[in-house]
Structure 1
Amino acid sequence: MTKKKWLVGAAAVLMSLGLASCSKTVATTSGGKITEQQYYDKMKQTPAGKQVLQQMILTKVLEKDYGKQVTQKQVNSEFNAYQKRYGKNFDTVLQRQNLTEATFKQQIRSNLLLRAAVKANTTITPKMLRQQWKEYQPNITVARIVVKNEGDANNIIDQLKQNGTYANFSKLAKKNSIDNQTKNDGGKLPPFNNETSGLDNTFKDAAFKLKPGKFTDKPVKTDYGYVVIYCIKHPAKGKMANHKQELRNQIINEQMNNQATLQRVAQKVLKNGNVQIKDKDLKNILSNYISGQQNPQ
């Protein structure tokens, strides 16, 4: 080896040692320390680590393109809605998801940024509005009695045929329902519409057919038992012209649950985002989003 080559080699070794020494320590053990660089080198090889980087890249680009369209007020509003939905169990739900209030708000903001991108890249046609109108239902308020078998449900319906008031329904719910979340409140559920998730579709379809003060005259079979439904409040749909903004919002919400749409939007956003992957080990990290993108070494 010539003196010049040896000096170049020695300089490279010293440089690598210098970089390693600059890497902050993440943890210390009796067997030695773990540095940020060591942690990074391991994490970037894992699916979870790659997924985090993908999300970080997408959020960065979305923030640049749509950040002005998402306000802190919107983030707080969604956060408060989740808090209200889960009530006293909210903190437990966050803990189970390994989230803090701050990180959950970050997730909400990322989701709102993606929604803004989907909205900007979705053309809503009159035909789409008409189709959504067929599915549209305003918020309806009902109460329910859930029992284990069809015979018990029919027995409750027979009693309601004798006295179909909500007061009697509420009394029967407290006595017979196996739904511990609603029975003590007479079976009453929070208002819901055609978009509401977490409710059996068969249950929702039966509820939407009821008029205020009426109950189902046959048991409704669901995944969680046989149900008798009482309609407390069911506003009329009205005219489509008065609900166009709601319909547009519902169409965008549906697109947010469409993987093909999300893939298409993410691909377009990232292609326009001038993304350059500097780590050669991660050069293909966006291959699922951008086909044929060239990543500099």
Structure 2
Amino acid sequence: MWKKVLGFVVIIAAAVGLVVYGMGGNTKNVAVSDSGSVSEASYYKELKKTPAGQQVLANMIIEKVLAKKFGDDVSQKSIDKQYNKVKKQYGSSFATTLTSNGMTEATFRDSLYLQALEEAAMKGTTKFTNAALKKEYKNYHAKVNISIITTDSESAAKDVIASLKKGKDFATLAKSKSTDTTTKSAGGKMSAFDSTSTTVDSTVQKAAFKLKKGEYTTTPVKVTSSSTGTTTYYVIKMNSLDKKKSFAAMKEKLKNIIVTDKMSDTTTVQAMVGDQLNKAKVTIKDSDLKSILSTYYEAAESAKSSSSSSK
């Protein structure tokens, strides 16, 4: 979650006053001492030189532009839900995780709001063709509920499969043989997921989706972690699977799947934002900050050129 949020927005508490302070010869002080004072103007002058300070201004501009057109599509309830989900996920380490990412609770909420605006804008500007929706429908697999037994070696996984073939109970074997500390106490049961899951390995998903209710994999499913390089062998059992809804009933979900895919590509997001900035006719008054939106404008221009050349 943190990667996702920080990939879209970079907000630091120290830069909150970037636009408000230092403009028009403002002489108020933000700090005073016997050794001298620091004015808002001098603070702004130094802050605007930093990449973080420049990004804060860019984010503030983007938020205003997107909120005017797509703000009604983002509810406070949805922001609170996202916030509480992350807070619950990190538990007692939530506050320290915020701090280590240069955030406060308020700026984290700001980041969630900007991300939600970008998603709303992406959905509002995407042309969903019937062909694209049908392609997503074909690739979509409905929610399944599976149990797993993980081992560190192929031979151990084969021994588990042999025991299952002899009639041994899957849950009992999971509790005694599985190396997965998260699921073994529950007899290997995982939380239900569908093909949009980003937490369940794609290899595990592919193997699971081939199973019918009550079936288990008869050969070990090998998964090698791209981050650690460690290899794990899975034995997977299908407990239950939902029936895939009709294409008509799933159209809205299919649109959301397409939007989520687009949002995972930074360049695509920047191009969309750049297009909206162009339409809003943004003018930056400070000559030192003229280029802070160039990344977005360039991405929009590149996307436009690619679209024209492909026609």
Category of TM-score, reference length = shorter chain: 0.7 to 0.9
CA distance in 1, matches of 2:156, 2:171: 16
CA distance in 1, matches of 2:201, 2:75: 34
Q: Give the alignment of 1:175-254 within 5 angstroms.
A: 175-223=176-224, 224-254=231-261
Indicate the residue corresponding to 1:23 in structure 2: 29
Q: Quote how far apart the aligned CAs of 1:81 are.
A: 3.6
Secondary structure of the corresponding residue to residue 215 of structure 2: coil
CA distance in 2, matches of 1:148, 1:253: 34
Residues 93 and 170 of structure 1: CA distance in aligned 2, closer, same or farther (over 3 Å)? farther
Residues 95 and 45 of structure 1: CA distance in aligned 2, closer, same or farther (over 3 Å)? closer
Indicate the residue corresponding to 2:292 in structure 1: 285
Q: Quote how far apart the aligned CAs of 1:178 are.
A: 1.6
Q: Does 1:104 align with 2:108?
A: yes
2:29 partner letter: S
Maintained 8 Å contact 2:221/2:233: yes
Residues 171 and 267 of structure 1: CA distance in aligned 2, closer, same or farther (over 3 Å)? same
Q: Give the alignment of 1:119-158 within 5 angstroms.
A: 119-158=123-162
Q: Quote how far apart the aligned CAs of 1:190 are.
A: 1.3
CA distance in 1, matches of 2:142, 2:72: 31
Match of 1:267 among 267, 274, 287: 274
Residues 87 and 244 of structure 1: CA distance in aligned 2, closer, same or farther (over 3 Å)? farther
Deviations 1:225-266 (A, max 9, x none): 111111112112243233222112211211212334312211
CA distance in 2, matches of 1:145, 1:118: 40
1:187 partner letter: G
Indicate the residue corresponding to 1:11 in structure 2: none
Residues 19 and 126 of structure 1: CA distance in aligned 2, closer, same or farther (over 3 Å)? closer
1:254 partner letter: D
1:195 partner letter: T
Secondary structure of the corresponding residue to residue 142 of structure 1: strand
Aligned CA RMSD, in angstroms, stands at 2.7
1:110 partner letter: L
Q: Does 1:63 align with 2:64?
A: no
Residues 210 and 284 of structure 1: CA distance in aligned 2, closer, same or farther (over 3 Å)? same
CA distance in 2, matches of 1:112, 1:40: 28
TM-score (normalizing by structure 2): 0.78
Secondary structure of the corresponding residue to residue 233 of structure 1: strand
1:214 partner letter: E
2:193 partner letter: F
Structure with greater Cα Rg: 1
Q: Quote how far apart the aligned CAs of 1:114 are.
A: 0.8
CA distance in 2, matches of 1:34, 1:23: 6
Number of residues of Structure 1 aligned to a counterpart in Structure 2? 272
Gaps of 5+ in 2: 1-21, 225-230, 301-311
Gaps of 5+ in 1: 1-15
Deviations 1:16-65 (A, max 9, x none): 9x95742322x76x865544433332332222222222222111111111
Same amino acid, percent of matched pairs: 37
CA distance in 2, matches of 1:216, 1:104: 43
CA distance in 2, matches of 1:67, 1:102: 19
TM-score (normalizing by structure 1): 0.82
